[in-house]
């Protein structure tokens, strides 16, 4: 569902991403792991067609991110940590607004709203103003906005940033549930414990380069039961 070959992004003299290559299979959670500044956000922004690559290619659901950006966006959802929605609107009003971008109106919107509210358990938030919601419920509105059109590919970039323990748990449970529906996810984080819980495969990103890729089980074996130890080992070897 995602194919990345030699993807590179340069900002003047700084290379944020360097000749990155990986793939993500259908129905899989791929954890892109690395510290802040490793190039994770830049990578996901290129996949989401928000940033143009300097070199290399990437395809999402079979479509080229450079030449077929509209087709990519129609099949993709994006959730960033710290995303906000309009505080003076209700959950229903927020989702109705964004549904318009996907051509979901009338019966189609009501059907999509029922599906996403049931999946996320957020029926109580639909008629409450965002400013009156808990942080966790606000995050559910953000996620609902991203998957209202049922995208087969979902990108999550540090999606638990700023969340309390209950909201974080709800998001991790959602990641597994969305994968179990047959969808493909890229889960970008620097929190290794989260990846240990949700990932099928992992990629270690350091200074814009992929220094390791393998199944979660392989990575855990490499780190004697710890993704963090595995990451540190591979970064030292790469250096």
| Domain presence at residue 177 | no
* Euclidean distance between CA atoms 97 and 144, whole angstroms: 12
The verdict on residue 176 lying in a domain is: no
pLDDT at position 161 is 85
Question: What pLDDT is recorded for position 32?
Answer: 97
Please tell me which residue, 47 or 121, carries the higher pLDDT value: 47
Spatial CB neighbours of 216, under 8 Å, sequence gap ≥ 6: 31, 195, 196, 199, 200, 201, 202, 227
Residues 130 and 104 reside in one and the same domain: yes
pLDDT of residue 164: 87
Q: Which is nearest to 147 in space by CA: 181, 116, 186? A: 116
- Global pTM value: 0.94
Supply the pLDDT for residue 163: 87
Please, which pLDDT band fits residue 118 given cuts at 50, 70 and 90?
A: very high
Question: For residue 51, which of 43, 60, 63 has the smallest C-alpha distance?
Answer: 43
The model's confidence at residue 183, banded by pLDDT at 50, 70 and 90, is very high
User: What pLDDT does residue 154 have?
Assistant: 98
> Measured between alpha carbons, how far is 90 from 73 in angstroms, rounded to an integer?
25
The pLDDT of residue 162 is above 80? yes
Confidence grade of residue 12 (pLDDT, cut at 50, 70, 90)? confident
Distance CA 202, CA 217 (A): 9
Asked if residue 156 is part of any domain, the answer here is yes
Co-location of 144 and 233 in the same domain: no
180 assigned to some structural domain: no
Domain housing 161: 1-75+152-171+186-239
pLDDT for 85 equals 87
* pLDDT for 124 beyond 90: no
Same domain for 156 and 55:
yes
Residue 98 has pLDDT above 90, yes or no: yes
pLDDT tens string 209-222: 999 999 999 999 99
**Tens digit of pLDDT for each residue in 42-85?**
999 999 999 999 999 999 999 999 999 999 999 999 998 878 88
pLDDT value of position 67: 95
CA 159 to chain centre: 7
- Domain match, 8 and 48 both: yes
CA dihedral (171, 176, 180, 184) positive or negative: positive
The answer to whether residues 123 and 225 belong to one domain is no
Residue 203 lies in a domain: yes
Helix (H, G, I), strand (E, B) or coil at 92: helix
Residues 60 and 113 in one domain: no
């Amino acid at each position: 569902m995602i194919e990345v070959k030699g993807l590179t992004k340069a900002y003047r003299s700084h290379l944020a991403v360097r000749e990155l290559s990986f793939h993500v299979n259908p129905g899989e959670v791929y954890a892109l792991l690395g510290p802040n500044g490793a190039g994770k956000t830049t990578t996901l922004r290129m996949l989401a067609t928000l940033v143009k690559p300097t070199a290399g290619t990437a395809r999402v659901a079979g479509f080229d991110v450079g030449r077929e950006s509209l087709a990519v966006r129609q099949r993709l959802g994006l959730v960033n940590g710290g995303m906000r929605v309009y505080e003076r609107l209700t959950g229903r009003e927020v989702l109705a607004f964004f549904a318009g971008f996907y051509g979901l109106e009338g019966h189609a919107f009501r059907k999509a709203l029922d599906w996403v509210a049931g999946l996320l358990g957020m029926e109580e938030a639909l008629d409450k103003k965002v400013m009156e919601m808990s942080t966790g419920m606000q995050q559910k509105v953000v996620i609902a906005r991203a998957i209202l059109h049922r995208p087969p590919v979902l990108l999550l970039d540090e999606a638990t940033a700023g969340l309390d323990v209950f909201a974080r748990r709800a998001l991790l449970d959602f990641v597994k549930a969305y994968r179990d529906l047959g969808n493909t996810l890229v889960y970008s984080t620097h929190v290794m414990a989260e990846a240990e819980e949700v990932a099928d495969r992992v990629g270690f990103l350091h200074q814009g380069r992929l220094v390791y890729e393998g199944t979660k089980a392989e990575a855990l074996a490499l780190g004697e039961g710890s993704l963090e130890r595995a990451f540190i080992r591979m970064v030292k070897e790469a250096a």
